[in-house]
Structure 1
Amino acid sequence: MEFEGLKSIEELNVLIIDDNLLVHDLLKRALYDLNIRNVRCAENAYYGLRLCAQTRFDVVICAFNVKSDKDGFHILEEMKFKGYVSKSTILIFLSSETDETLVNSISELQPDDFWVKPLNTGHVIKRLSYAIAVKRKLFNVFECIDNRDFGKAIYYIERHLLNKDLKKYHMQLTRIKGECLLSLMEYNDAEEYFRELLQHSKNSWMYLGFVSALLKQNKIEEIKKLLENLTTKVETRFATYDLLAQFYVENEDFVQAYETIKKAAALAPRNIARNKKVWDLARLNHDQREQYNATVMMAKHAKKSIHDSPELLLNVMRSCIDLALSVDAAESFELLSRVDKYIAELEADYDDISHFKEQLVIVRARVLTAREEKSKAERLVELQVSLRPNNSLEDNLDKVKVFHEVGMREEALDLLEAVKKQIACDSLAGAVTSKFVEQEAKEKSEIHFTPKQLNSMAVEFFKKKKMTPALRSLEQALQLTPRNVKVALSLLKVLVAIHRSEGLDDSQKELASSTINALHVGDLDDTQMIHFNEIVNELASAIDEGKATAIS
C-alpha cells in the first residue's frame, strides 16, 4: 500500500539556508536538474525563519555554520519548536566540519541526511533523490509519528515490510518500528524485538535500542559489559551516556547521574536542556565550579536561539557567587569582579531592566556579603526584597540564599517551605530539582554560614587552639564543598593536631578515613601532595587501629 502524501517533485517547496552564495547556485542547479523549481534561498537564519512563517517547505537544506546570526543547530531547533518542520519534512544538514561534538549535536535533531562540503552536483542529485523517495514511499509512517500515533505507524510499517517493492527501505522501517515501540513504552516487546534483530545484524542503533529497553526495565546488571563496550565506541558513546544518565536519575542515583551526564554534555555541548541537567545535578552534588561552568555554557550556546533569555545571565551570576563563596580569597575576588561585569552586561543589553530589579538587588546583596560587607547587604535586603515568593523557582532559591547569608534564617526556611509547595504543584519539576530543594531545606536549617565564612571561622578557632569547633566548622564547610581540596586538607590538619594532643576518638578516625578516601588526589598540586602524604602517614596507625576496633 502506497500513501502518496508528499507532493509531486515539481510541486515541492525547497528552502536553502547558507551564507555562501556559491552553495546556493550549486544546489539550485542540482534541484533544477531534478525538475524542482520552487526554491527559496536565505543567507541568514533571520530571513530563513521569515520565509518559513510565510511558506510551508517540504525540503529544508541548512548549513551548520551560518556565521551572520544563528548557527544551523539553533535554526533547525527553532524551526522544530515553531512547527515549521516535522517528521514529514525532508531535513538536510550541510557542514564542512565533521568533528564528533558537531555530529552528535546534529544527530539529536534527526535530519534525513548530512552532506559534507564541498558539494558536487551529482552527489546532491543522488542523495536528495533517495531522501525524497523515502519520504514519499513512507509518508504515512512519518505522518503518524508527527501525530504521535505510534501504534498506527507500526501497523503501516509491518505492511510495508511485506511489500517486496519497498525492500530497499526495510532497514529504515525496521529502525523506526523499534523507536515506536520505545515511544509506546512497550519495553518488554522492544527488548525482544531488538534482541531478535541483533541475532542477524550488529548495527549501532540496534544496540542502543536494546540498551534503552533494558534500562527502562531496570535490567542494567544484564548489560554491564555491553554498556562498557558501547561507551568506548565513537558512534555509540554519546547516546549511551545519555541513556545511562536518565536511568540513574530515574533510580535516584544522583552521583552516578551527574558523572554520566557531564560526559554526554561534553560530547554534545549545544543542547541547552542537557546543560540544564548538568547544572541541576552539579548543585545537588555540591560542585560549585561545574555549576558555574554549566550556566556559562547554557548562556553561551543559547545566544541568538529560542532559549536566549536574561534569566540565563542571572543564573550565571548566581552560580558565580556560589563559587566565590566556596574558594580562597584571591579567586573569590576575581569571581566577584566578574559578577560586576555581568550586571553591567545585563543592564546594557536589556531595555526593560526594571523587570529584573529585585533579582539584581539580590545579586548585589549577595556580592556584598561575599565581600564581607554584611551590614550594607542587610539594608539592601530589608528595603528592597519582598518576603513573598514569586513564580520563578530560581528567583526564589536565590532569595533563600540571600536571606540565609544576611542572617534572616527563619525567613529563608519559610520561603523554602513555599518553594516545596510550588514544586509539588509543578508537573515540570523533576526528581533532581525536588531533591535539591529538600537538601537545601535541611542544610539551611543545620548550617548557618557559607563555606567561606566557615573556613574563616575554622582558621580563627585553630589559632586559639579550639580544635573541636574548628573541626566542626570544617566538617560543615566540606559538606557544602566536598570537592574543595583546601578545605579537606585543613580538616585533616586539624585532625592531626587533635591526634598529637589527645588522640582521635572513633568518630574522628572515621572522619579521617572518609576524608582521605574522598579527596580528589588528582586535584592536588605538588606542595599539597607532599602535605597530604605526610598527613596520611601520621594518621595511618590511628585509622588502622579504628578499623581493627570496628571489626572486633
Structure 2
Amino acid sequence: MNAIVNAAAGTLGASVSDQVDWASKTYLVVDDFIGVRQLLRESLRSLGARTIDQASSGGEAMGLLNKTRYDVVLCDFNLGEGKNGQQVLEEARMRNLLLPSSVFLMVSAEKSVESVMGAAEHQPDAYLVKPITEGVLLTRLNRVWRKKQVFGLIDQAYAEKDYLRAARLCDEQIAVNKAHEIDLLRMKARLMEKSGEPAKARETYERVLAQREYQWARSGLAKIRMADGEFEQARQMFQTVIAENRYYIDAYDQLAQAWQHMGKHEEALNVLERAAKLSPNSVPRQRNLGQACLKLGNVGMAEKAFRKCIAIGEYSIRKTPDAYLGLARVCGLKNDPKEALQLLIAAQREFGADHPDMELRTKITEGLVYHESGDYRRARKAGDELEALLQATPERPDVPTCLEMATLLFAVGVKEAPVDLLCYVIRNNHDNTLLQDEVQQIFEKARMGEEGEKLIRGARKEAIDLMNQGVLLWKTGKLAEAVEWMRNARTALPHNVRILFNSAQILISHMQQRGYSAELHEEAHKVLTHVDHLQPGQQRFAQLMEQLLGLAPKAEEPAQGAPAGEVAAA
C-alpha cells in the first residue's frame, strides 16, 4: 500500500530549505467536517497563509473553483452526499478550472487500494493520509510547488495544444533542472506521441529506461508498439508491466485493447474485469466493461457493470448516456422491455438538453430492444420514426451511432436511409480501410454485398474528388477560391480528417501570403481543434497548430520574475 501512496504523491525529493512565499498564495480547503477544515486552515495559517476559502461539499467546491483560480487546493476524498474528492479533481481538470501552476492535494483517512487507486488515476499532485502534521504538509507543498514552477510554461503550451513548443520547453528545462530530468522526459515522450512522432517518443522512453526500469516508460514503448500494429509484442510488454506492479492500472486498459486488436475478446474481457475490481470507481472503465460484455453476450456481467456505472457516475462529469442505453439493451435481451423503456426515458431526461443526438440514440436503442425481444411490429415502428428524424435533421451523428442505426433500419426492412447513412460514413472516412470493411459487413448482413462494394467505391471517389479540387485551387494560387471551396467541403463532410487538415493548411497559407486575419486564425483554430477531437495524436495536427500559433501577433511579455501562475492567467 505504501508503494501506491508514494506513487500517487509524486514526490521528487527536493530539499525544503528554499523558502516559498506561502503568504501570497490563495487556498481552498474542502472537507465535510468543520473541525477538519479548521485544523487544515490553522496548519496553513502557521505557514503564513492569509487567503483561505472553505467548502463543505463537492458541489460547493465546484462553485468556488468556477469563480477563483486557487494556488493550492486541499480536498478530502470522502465528502458525504454529492461529489467526492475524486470527482471534484476530475471535473476541475476536464474543465480547466486549475492553473498549470495550481497544486491539488488529495487528503483522506482512506488507505484502501480502491480509494487510493481511484484518486491517483486523476493525478492529484499528492495524496496525503490523515492525520497530517504541519511538517508533512510543508514538505509536500514545497516539493510539489517547485515541480509546478518547472512545468508551468510547459503545461500552458500543452493546454494551447502547441505540443511541439511544449516539447522544446521540456528540453530547455532538462538542461537547467537535472533534478527533474526524468519527469521532464516523461512529459516530452507524451508530447511526442501527441504530436504524431512515435519514433521520437520511442527514443525518449529508451533514454529513460537506460537510466532505470520505470514501468511507465515500458508501458509507453508498448503503446507505440500497439500503434504500429505489433499487438503481440505490445501484449507481452503490458503483461510484464502488470507482473511487476499489479496496481499499474493503465496497463490493464492497454492490455485489454491489445487483446481486442488481436480478436481475443474473451481475454480482453477478463483483463477489464480484473481492472474494474482493482479500481471500481472509474466511470469509463465500468462502461467499457459493460460494452465488452454486451458484445460477447455476457448479459449478467454487462448488467452489473452498467448498473455500477450509473451509480458511481451520478455526480461525475464523465457521466454519459452510454450506460443507460447499454443497460436498456441488456433489458431487451432479458425480455424486459418495460425497464428498458424506463431507462430510455431516464436517459432522455438526464442528457437530452446537453446531447443534441439524444432523441436519435434513444430511438435506435428502443428499436433494437423491441427487435431483440421479438416485438418486430414495434421495432418497425421505431424504424419509421428514425427515418422521420433523419429527414428532419441535417446533422448526422457519430460513426458508431450511424452504424448502429443502419443495422437496425436494414433489420426492419428499410433500405434507402441506411444506404445513405453508410455512404455518408465512408465519405467522411474515405481512407479508413478497417471502417470500410465494417461497413461492407453490414451490407453483406443485409444481403447487399455486391451492391455495397460499388457504393463504397463511389462514396470514396466522391470524397477524394471534393478534396482534390480544393487542393488544386490552392496549388494554382487561387487562395480565396480554395478557402471558400474547402468551407463548402467541410459543410458537406464535417468529419473527414483529410479535408479538415487541408482546409486548415489553406487558411494558414492564405495568412502567410496575404497577411494575418483574426477571423481566418479563429476559423483555422476551430478546424484543428475539431480534428484533434476526432483523431488525437496526428503529426500534421502538431505541425499545423505550431504554424498557426506562430502567425498570431505576439502578446506582451510578462514582467521578469513573474510567478508561473500569473503568466498562465495572462
TM-score (norm 1): 0.63
How far residue 264 of structure 1 moved from its aligned partner, in angstroms, is 3.9
Q: Is the 8 A contact 2:232 2:258 kept in 1?
A: no
Per-residue deviation, residues 241-288 of structure 1 (Å, max 9, x unmatched): 223344456677766655544544444444444444445544554544
- Check 1:172–1:416 CA distance in 2 against 1; reply closer, same or farther (3 A cut): same
**Aligned pair 1:70/2:70, yes or no?**
no
Q: Distance in 1 between matches of 2:222 and 2:379?
A: 53
Instruction: Tell me the secondary structure at the aligned position of residue 231 of structure 1.
Output: helix
Per-residue deviation, residues 351-405 of structure 1 (Å, max 9, x unmatched): 99xx978877777776666666656x37965886645536456777776677677
Q: Distance in 2 between matches of 1:158 and 1:240?
A: 27
**Aligned pair 1:134/2:135, yes or no?**
no
Per-residue deviation, residues 155-199 of structure 1 (Å, max 9, x unmatched): 333343343xx4443443343333333333432333333334323
What code does the residue aligned with 2:317 have? I
**Aligned pair 1:24/2:40, yes or no?**
no
What code does the residue aligned with 1:238 have? I
- Check 1:416–1:56 CA distance in 2 against 1; reply closer, same or farther (3 A cut): same
- Kindly name which structure, 1 or 2, has the bigger radius of gyration based on alpha carbons: 1
Q: Distance in 1 between matches of 2:434 and 2:105?
A: 36
What code does the residue aligned with 2:94 have? F
How far residue 64 of structure 1 moved from its aligned partner, in angstroms, is 2.2
- The structure whose RCO (Cα within 8 Å, separation 6+) is larger is 2
Q: Distance in 1 between matches of 2:351 and 2:196?
A: 44
Q: Where does residue 318 of structure 1 map in the other structure? A: 329
Q: Is the 8 A contact 2:101 2:149 kept in 1?
A: no
Q: Is the 8 A contact 2:75 2:106 kept in 1?
A: yes
Q: Is the 8 A contact 2:407 2:418 kept in 1?
A: no
Query: Among 110, 114, 132, which residue is 2:123 paired with?
Result: 110
- Check 1:338–1:436 CA distance in 2 against 1; reply closer, same or farther (3 A cut): farther
Per-residue deviation, residues 415-434 of structure 1 (Å, max 9, x unmatched): 4334424544667xx99988
How far residue 124 of structure 1 moved from its aligned partner, in angstroms, is 1.4
Q: Is the 8 A contact 2:223 2:234 kept in 1?
A: no
How far residue 8 of structure 1 moved from its aligned partner, in angstroms, is 5.0
Q: Where does residue 201 of structure 1 map in the other structure? A: 212
What code does the residue aligned with 1:241 have? Y
Q: Is the 8 A contact 1:13 1:39 kept in 2?
A: yes
Query: Among 65, 86, 90, which residue is 2:103 paired with?
Result: 90
Q: Distance in 1 between matches of 2:137 and 2:401?
A: 50
Percent identical residues: 18
Gaps of 5+ in 2: 1-19, 449-570
Q: Distance in 2 between matches of 1:117 and 1:255?
A: 41
Q: Is the 8 A contact 2:306 2:326 kept in 1?
A: yes
Q: Distance in 1 between matches of 2:162 and 2:371?
A: 55
Q: Where does residue 422 of structure 2 map in the other structure? A: 420
In the comparison of the two structures, how many residue pairs are matched? 422
Q: Where does residue 309 of structure 2 map in the other structure? A: 298
Q: Where does residue 340 of structure 2 map in the other structure? A: 339
How far residue 350 of structure 1 moved from its aligned partner, in angstroms, is 8.9
What code does the residue aligned with 1:208 have? S
Q: Distance in 2 between matches of 1:82 and 1:50?
A: 13
Q: Where does residue 468 of structure 1 map in the other structure? A: none
Instruction: Tell me the secondary structure at the aligned position of residue 35 of structure 1.
Output: coil
Query: Among 13, 24, 29, which residue is 1:11 paired with?
Result: 24
Q: Where does residue 518 of structure 2 map in the other structure? A: none
Q: Is the 8 A contact 1:92 1:111 kept in 2?
A: yes
Per-residue deviation, residues 316-374 of structure 1 (Å, max 9, x unmatched): 213321x22xxxxxxx4xx445436546766997999xx97887777777666666665
Q: Distance in 2 between matches of 1:286 and 1:433?
A: 23
Query: Among 133, 138, 143, which residue is 1:125 paired with?
Result: 138
Q: Is the 8 A contact 1:29 1:121 kept in 2?
A: no
Q: Where does residue 48 of structure 1 map in the other structure? A: 61
What code does the residue aligned with 1:194 have? Y
Q: Distance in 2 between matches of 1:415 and 1:8?
A: 65
How far residue 113 of structure 1 moved from its aligned partner, in angstroms, is 0.9
What code does the residue aligned with 1:26 have? L
**Aligned pair 1:176/2:176, yes or no?**
no
- Check 1:365–1:240 CA distance in 2 against 1; reply closer, same or farther (3 A cut): closer
What code does the residue aligned with 1:120 have? T
Query: Among 216, 220, 240, which residue is 1:229 paired with?
Result: 240
Q: Is the 8 A contact 2:185 2:204 kept in 1?
A: no
- Check 1:256–1:350 CA distance in 2 against 1; reply closer, same or farther (3 A cut): closer
- Check 1:122–1:339 CA distance in 2 against 1; reply closer, same or farther (3 A cut): same
What code does the residue aligned with 1:38 have? T
Gaps of 5+ in 1: 1-6, 325-331, 447-552
- Check 1:116–1:441 CA distance in 2 against 1; reply closer, same or farther (3 A cut): farther
Q: Is the 8 A contact 2:383 2:408 kept in 1?
A: no
Q: Distance in 2 between matches of 1:219 and 1:87?
A: 35
